[in-house]
A and B are shown apart, each in its own frame.
Chain A
Amino acid sequence: MELLTPGTGLIIWQLIVFVALVFLLSKLAWKPIINSLKEREDSIQNALNTAERARAEMAQLKSDNEKLLKEAREERDKMLKEAREVANRMKDEAQTDAKKAADKILAEARAAINVEKEAAMRDVKAQVALFSLEVAEKLMKKNLTSDKEQKTLVEGYIKDLKLN
């Protein structure tokens, strides 16, 4: 039964010592410990937040870089395409120019040939006239001998002329 009856002295001592202990430890131990723990947890949290932010920034930078790279690639493609178009156009133009020049040369050549031909024809005609005159002269000369001969001769010439 004595085990279950609290001793007055011990109650008083326990009350005094425990309350003193609460105040003493609160001031000497718990306050610095709790504050340090909180500070450290805050600093860890801050560090984590900063790391998270840095990662987000890195990701942002990376996506920006990729965007830039993509734009540059598009730009290059566009430039290449334009260059190709320009080259093609130049080639076409050169071709048409060349064709035109060739046509012109051909036309000129044709015109020259015609001129030459006409000149030749004129020469030929003149020659023919000359020959005719010569023939006629010869005929005139022969005509004097006989009509019959004259006649056959003319016929012969005419035949020749026709053949021509």
Chain B
Amino acid sequence: MSLFSSKFSKILPFFIALFFVGVSAFGQEHDSHVNADSTVENHAESFNASEVILHHVMDDHIWHFFDGHYGTLYLPVIVHSSERGLEVFSSRNFYDEHHNVVAYNGYTLEHNHIYLNGDSVLDLSITKNVAMLLINAVILVLVFMAVAKGYKKNSGKAPKGIQSFFEPIIIFVRDEVVKPNIGHHYEKYFPYLLTLFFFILFGNLLGLLPGAGNLTGNIAVTMVLAFLTFIITNVSGNKAYWGHIFWTPGVPLPLRLVILPVEIIGIFTKPISLTIRLFVAITAGHIVLLALICLTFIFGSIWVGAGSSIIVLFISLIELLVAGIQAYVFTLFTSLYIGMAIADHDHH
């Protein structure tokens, strides 16, 4: 990291210079366009960067890859309402030939929420993120079945191929993340933590692919992961853990009454912090990348495009790092919370 930052600080002035070259080039171009009354300016006016960015980081009922007839994948809509029961249809029905949102069969689509005659319905659609989730799950199962097969095939031999690629990561998670924080009862929680780690890691990395959905940067996804951690932590919490929360030992009585609500709030802030940390880290990364790309279209200049492309390249490298770090951090904190819940407080 320090190596990276030192290198980065060497390169940074170069980018700043590049950026200003781009801006000044834009200025010139802008002047000429004002005189020529061009269409580019109209394009820039109609271009709404925040809309584009939010569209990219948010969930959707369609999967938009590029403009044009074949550029959009219409995902299935699954809705349940007390009025009509379960209904499945294509999201294509919500769009006319000019890609405008239209009502279908009494259902309306507003801001990605489906309403039936004005009432909200239970929307179980395979949205972009659900599709990403399924792809992620399939990749995880395929990859780790291949890894497990390697152990069966090369049993008693040195690891080979994909097995030798993932083995150090699995051992890292076990020896550096799980074991030191949970202690010797780690084996019960290890499968969950491994799944968590690789789910987040793969989700983060898949999310960086162009056109991919922002799975791990979606608050619903991170919330569910944090919720599971919350459940596991509090279900496995031992007497000492609850004792520590409700009647903190070694503290004077009046203080215990102050600590009690703090500790109870603490139970819930832990999963909330997990939810928000992963969501923000990944979504912010995507927003930065998209904002830099949008600069090109806002300025409508090839020079800004060249500059921001290079910066985007480096931000993408940072995002690769962040993908690993966030998977590590989420797993680390989950291990830490579980470890705190099952620790023997003999020293009190």
Judge whether A161 is part of the interface by a CB distance below 8 angstroms: no
Chain A residues near B199 (CB, 8 Å)?
Answer: 18, 21
Closest to A28 in B: B145
Judge whether A8 is part of the interface by a CB distance below 8 angstroms: yes
Chain A residues near B148 (CB, 8 Å)?
Answer: 28-29, 32-33
Chain B residues near A22 (CB, 8 Å)?
Answer: 191-192, 195
Judge whether B152 is part of the interface by a CB distance below 8 angstroms: yes
Judge whether B323 is part of the interface by a CB distance below 8 angstroms: no
Chain B residues near A32 (CB, 8 Å)?
Answer: 148, 151-152
Chain B residues near A121 (CB, 8 Å)?
Answer: none
The answer to whether A21 and B195 have CB atoms under 8 Å apart is yes
Q: Contact partner of B191 among A8, A13, A19, A25, CB < 8 A?
A: A25
Question: Number of A residues whose C-beta is below 8 Å from B?
Answer: 35
Within 8 A of A (CB), among B271-323: 283
CA distance A25 to B147 in the complex (A): 11
The answer to whether B195 and A43 have CB atoms under 8 Å apart is no
Chain A residues near B227 (CB, 8 Å)?
Answer: 15
Q: What's the least CB distance linking A65 to chain B, in Å?
A: 36
Closest to A5 in B: B219
Given A24-B141, A28-B144, A30-B194, is A10 in contact with B127 using a C-beta cutoff of 8 Å? yes
Chain A residues near B112 (CB, 8 Å)?
Answer: 2, 7
The answer to whether A2 and B141 have CB atoms under 8 Å apart is no
The answer to whether A21 and B140 have CB atoms under 8 Å apart is yes
Judge whether B125 is part of the interface by a CB distance below 8 angstroms: yes
Judge whether A31 is part of the interface by a CB distance below 8 angstroms: yes
The answer to whether A13 and B130 have CB atoms under 8 Å apart is yes
The answer to whether A26 and B191 have CB atoms under 8 Å apart is yes
Judge whether A96 is part of the interface by a CB distance below 8 angstroms: no
Chain B residues near A127 (CB, 8 Å)?
Answer: none
Judge whether A12 is part of the interface by a CB distance below 8 angstroms: yes
Judge whether A3 is part of the interface by a CB distance below 8 angstroms: yes
The answer to whether B219 and A4 have CB atoms under 8 Å apart is yes
Chain B residues near A31 (CB, 8 Å)?
Answer: 191
The answer to whether B124 and A9 have CB atoms under 8 Å apart is yes
Judge whether B171 is part of the interface by a CB distance below 8 angstroms: yes
Judge whether A114 is part of the interface by a CB distance below 8 angstroms: no
Judge whether B176 is part of the interface by a CB distance below 8 angstroms: no
Chain B residues near A19 (CB, 8 Å)?
Answer: 228
Q: Which of B59, B133, B148 has the most CB of A within 10 A?
A: B148
Chain A residues near B167 (CB, 8 Å)?
Answer: 37
Chain B residues near A12 (CB, 8 Å)?
Answer: 124
Judge whether B111 is part of the interface by a CB distance below 8 angstroms: yes
The answer to whether B151 and A10 have CB atoms under 8 Å apart is no
CA distance A18 to B141 in the complex (A): 12
CA distance A138 to B187 in the complex (A): 154
The answer to whether A7 and B141 have CB atoms under 8 Å apart is no
The answer to whether B195 and A33 have CB atoms under 8 Å apart is no
The answer to whether B133 and A13 have CB atoms under 8 Å apart is yes
Chain B residues near A50 (CB, 8 Å)?
Answer: none
Q: Contact partner of B147 among A10, A20, A29, CB < 8 A?
A: A29
Q: What's the least CB distance linking B310 to chain A, in Å?
A: 28
Using a CB–CB distance below 8 Å, which chain B residues touch chain A? Answer: 54, 57-59, 78, 111-112, 122-127, 129-130, 133-134, 137, 140-141, 144-145, 147-148, 151-152, 155-156, 167, 170-171, 174, 187, 190-192, 194-195, 199, 218-221, 223-225, 227-228, 283
* Given A6-B220, A15-B224, A29-B148, 4 other A-B residues pairs in contact with their CB atoms under 8 A: A3-B219, A14-B225, A32-B151, A36-B151
Q: List 25 A-B contacts (CB under 8 A).
A: A2-B112, A6-B218, A6-B219, A7-B220, A9-B78, A9-B125, A13-B133, A17-B133, A17-B137, A22-B191, A25-B195, A26-B192, A28-B145, A28-B148, A30-B195, A32-B152, A33-B144, A33-B170, A34-B191, A36-B151, A36-B152, A37-B151, A37-B167, A37-B171, A40-B156
